């Protein structure tokens, strides 16, 4: 094998480095504008549809948290990157029959939205001897088809997660409603997080904000932003 750096890989590396610098500057500016410290927001780079080679380049650029939304893709990618120091966030809608697989590589499951998923994730985590952080995905527009628990179902689901072996309740996750100004929805999420922490003080994570709306999310108090397109480029459609 040649030891010369592959030109295409080097070009990709410098693109990713430039995009990451832009995104980190946006997060820093949003923190400054909101009067928040810069280390109060964690960047999760969403690598879905992009290859393990990109994950490897990102790790070399200091990325520590990555997000994926399909088990079939995420499992092999996590395995190919097992030597890297990464935390894997599962952020997609999750079928119950995939939960055991996801529990074998994910560190955080952000899309828990029903009790049946909790027992399946717990069983998988116990079997693997792993601890999983779970976020409850909340529907901010009441449209269950896009995933997410209804706000009124959050307290019971939170208790179920908190009591499940090998699962920890980390907090809440949401996607801004389509076609609406995201600030209001993110403020609602922040209020739900405040209420959740009254009974679960350790559940401090608020995962909100994507490439187009990270500023609004940081302003509303997000602790984690999930950024794909702005780092890796526009995804090709999957199907
Ligand atoms: C794809 C995805 C993201 C990243 O979206 P971008 O607009 O590409 O930044 C964030 N969150 C979830 C749940 C996603 O599915």
CA distance 153 to 82: 36
Name the band, by pLDDT with cuts 50, 70 and 90, for residue 1.
low
Residue with the larger pLDDT of the pair 178 and 210: 210
Is position 239 within any domain? no
Look at strands 42-46 and 224-227 and give their pairing.
parallel
Helices (H), the chain: 7-34, 52-60, 71-80, 99-103, 115-128, 154-163, 182-199, 214-220, 229-232
Q: Is the CB of 227 under 6 A from ligand 1?
A: yes
Is position 160 within any domain? yes
Mean pLDDT of the chain: 95
Is position 9 within any domain? yes
Radius of gyration, CA atoms only, the chain: 18
Question: Is residue 146 predicted with pLDDT exceeding 80?
Answer: no
Tally of structural domains, the chain: 1
Q: Which atom of ligand 1 is nearest to the CA of 229?
A: 8
Question: Is residue 84 predicted with pLDDT exceeding 70?
Answer: yes
Task: For residue 238, report the phi and psi dihedrals to the nearest 5 degrees.
Answer: -80, -40
Which residue's alpha carbon is at the smallest distance from atom 7 of ligand 1? 211
CATH number of 174's domain: 3.20.20.10
Is position 172 within any domain? yes
Residue range(s) defining the domain that contains residue 161 = 4-234
Is position 151 within any domain? yes
Q: How far is the CA of 48 from the centre of ligand 1 (A)?
A: 9
**pLDDT digits 0-9 by tens, 92-104:** 999 999 999 999 9
Q: Is the CB of 232 under 6 A from ligand 1?
A: no
Q: Which atom of ligand 1 is nearest to the CA of 231?
A: 9
Q: Which atom of ligand 1 is nearest to the CA of 69?
A: 15
Q: How far is the CA of 228 from the centre of ligand 1 (A)?
A: 6
Name the band, by pLDDT with cuts 50, 70 and 90, for residue 239.
very low
pLDDT for residue 178 = 86
Is position 144 within any domain? yes
Is position 133 within any domain? yes
Q: Answer whether 78's CB lies under 8 Å from 104's CB.
A: no
Best residue among 228, 230, 236 to mutate for probing ligand 1's pocket (most ligand atoms within 8 Å of CB) is 228
Question: Is residue 228 predicted with pLDDT exceeding 70?
Answer: yes
Q: Is the CB of 78 under 6 A from ligand 1?
A: no
CA distance 84 to 77: 11
Question: Is residue 161 predicted with pLDDT exceeding 50?
Answer: yes
pLDDT for residue 4 = 64
Question: Is residue 3 predicted with pLDDT exceeding 70?
Answer: no
């Amino acid at each position: 094998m040649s030891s010369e750096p592959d030109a295409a890989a080097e070009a990709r590396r410098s693109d990713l480095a430039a995009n990451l610098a832009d995104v980190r500057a946006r997060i820093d500016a949003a923190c400054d504008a909101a009067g928040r410290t810069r280390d109060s927001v964690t960047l999760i780079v969403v690598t879905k549809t992009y290859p393990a080679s990109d994950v490897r380049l990102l790790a070399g650029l200091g990325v520590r948290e990555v997000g994926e939304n399909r088990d079939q893709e995420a499992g092999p990618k996590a395995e190919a990157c097992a030597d890297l120091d990464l935390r894997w966030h599962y952020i997609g809608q999750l079928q119950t029959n995939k939960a055991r697989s996801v529990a074998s590589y994910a560190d955080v499951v952000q899309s828990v939205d029903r009790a049946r998923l909790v027992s399946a994730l717990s069983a998988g985590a116990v079997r693997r001897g792993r601890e999983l952080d779970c976020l409850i995905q909340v529907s901010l527009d009441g449209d269950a088809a896009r995933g997410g628990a209804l706000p009124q179902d959050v307290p019971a689901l939170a208790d179920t997660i908190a009591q499940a072996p090998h699962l920890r309740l980390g907090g809440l996750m949401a996607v801004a409603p389509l076609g609406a100004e995201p600030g209001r929805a993110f403020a609602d999420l922040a209020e739900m997080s405040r209420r959740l922490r009254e009974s679960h003080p350790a559940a401090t994570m608020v995962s909100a904000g994507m490439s187009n709306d990270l500023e609004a999310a940081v302003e509303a108090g997000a602790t984690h932003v999930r950024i794909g397109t702005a780092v890796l480029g526009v995804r090709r459609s999957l199907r």
